[in-house]
Amino acid sequence: MSDKSPRVEKRGEVTCIILGPEFENLDETVLDGIRPQLLETASKAAPPKIVIDLSHTVFFGSSFIEVLFRIWNRVNGTPGGKFGIAGLTPYCREVLEVTHLDRLWTLYPNLDEAVKGTT
C-alpha cells in the first residue's frame, strides 16, 4: 500500500491530477493506494474537466487503464466534461496506442498544453 498521494491542482477550470516521481511504476500495490483518491477527485471535479499528468510514470498496466477509463467515463458522462492525459513517456504512450485508447482520449505532450486543450 502506498502512503503517497498524487498532487491535485486547480488550474483555472481544469482539475489536474499530477503523478510525481514517486509514481514512476504504477503497479498493483501502488495503484491500490491511490485508486480511491483518483476516482473521488474525478467525481468531485467542478466543472468536470480533468487532466492527468503522467510525465514521471514509466510503467502502468491494465489495472491503471481501467482506472483511467472509469475517470473518463465519469467526466465524459457529464455535460461539458473533458478529459486529457499529459506527458506520456514512450512506453506508456505505446500502450495507449496499441490498445487504440489514443483515439478515445486526448493525449498532450505536457501539462500546460493539456490545460489549454481542456479549457
- Give residue 2's pLDDT band: very low, low, confident or very high (50, 70, 90): very low
Asked whether residue 104 carries a pLDDT value surpassing 80, the answer given is yes
With residue 83 as reference, give the H or E element that holds it.
Answer: strand 82-86
At 18 the pLDDT is 98
Q: Which fold has domain 7-118?
A: Transcription Regulator spoIIAA (3.30.750)
pLDDT at 23 exceeding the cut of 80: yes
Count of alpha carbons within 13 angstroms of residue 41, beta-carbon side: 23
- The residues near 74 (Cβ < 8 Å, ≥ 6 apart) are 39, 42, 43, 48, 81
DSSP β-bridge partners for residue 84: 51, 106
Percent of the chain with pLDDT over 90: 95
pLDDT at 3: 60
| pLDDT tens by residue, 55-96 | 999 999 999 999 999 999 999 989 999 999 999 999 999 999
Q: Give the percent of the chain with pLDDT over 70.
A: 97
Q: Is pTM, for the whole model, over 0.85?
A: yes
